[in-house]
Amino acid sequence: MTDANAFDLNTFLPYRLNAVAGRISRAFAERYREEFGISIPEWRVLVHLHQGGDVSVRDVEARVDMEKSKVSRAASRLEAAGYITKAVNDSDRRLLLLRLTPEGEALVARLLPVAIGYQEEMKARLGPLVEGLEAGIAALLDDPK
């Protein structure tokens, strides 16, 4: 039996991590989509701006691991809704800086309790396994490649 014959996708860690991340993200998205009318990319942009202040589309793209086009479309929708503003970066005119508006800050203030509640549900579901999972995620994210 070759290694290829022994390969089982259902035990392949990258596949499983991707599947669980997608499932968790979609389940959480159902909650905020219904109540707040935003998409997954919009959620990621809003929360990143909340954490980082004025940031460029490039910064958001790198931090939230989303394609630049998705970040740009989400930012355009959020700007049209009045939640963010866009401005050209004075030091690098190629970059657009994104900033939350007061309405965007208010939306994030309403979103965060939903996020925290969802996280607490996940932790309760995992119970004592959460510490090992957190350590494993940290090890994978800190991988220097």
Per DSSP (E only), the strands in the chain are 55-56, 84-88, 96-100
Q: Given the structure tokens 């499983």, which residue do they identify?
A: 16
Cβ neighbours around 101 below 10 Å, total: 16
Question: The whole model's pTM is what?
Answer: 0.82
**What contacts 60, CB < 8 A, 6 or more positions away?**
44, 45, 48, 49, 66, 71, 75, 98
pLDDT digits (tens, 9 = 90+) for 6-23: 899 889 999 999 999 999
Distances (CA, A) of 116 to 7, 24, 72: 38, 14, 26
Contact call for residues 108 and 50 (beta carbons, < 8 A): yes
pLDDT digits (tens, 9 = 90+) for 116-130: 999 999 999 999 999
Contact call for residues 73 and 43 (beta carbons, < 8 A): no
pLDDT digits (tens, 9 = 90+) for 35-54: 899 999 999 999 999 987 77
Distance CA 39, CA 112 (A): 15
Average pLDDT of the chain, as a whole number: 89
Distance CA 96, CA 115 (A): 27
Structural domain boundaries in the chain? 3-141
The second-level CATH assignment, the architecture, of 3-141 is Orthogonal Bundle (1.10)
Residue 2, pLDDT score: 63
Contact call for residues 75 and 107 (beta carbons, < 8 A): no
User: CA nearest 83: which of 63, 53, 114, 106?
Assistant: 106
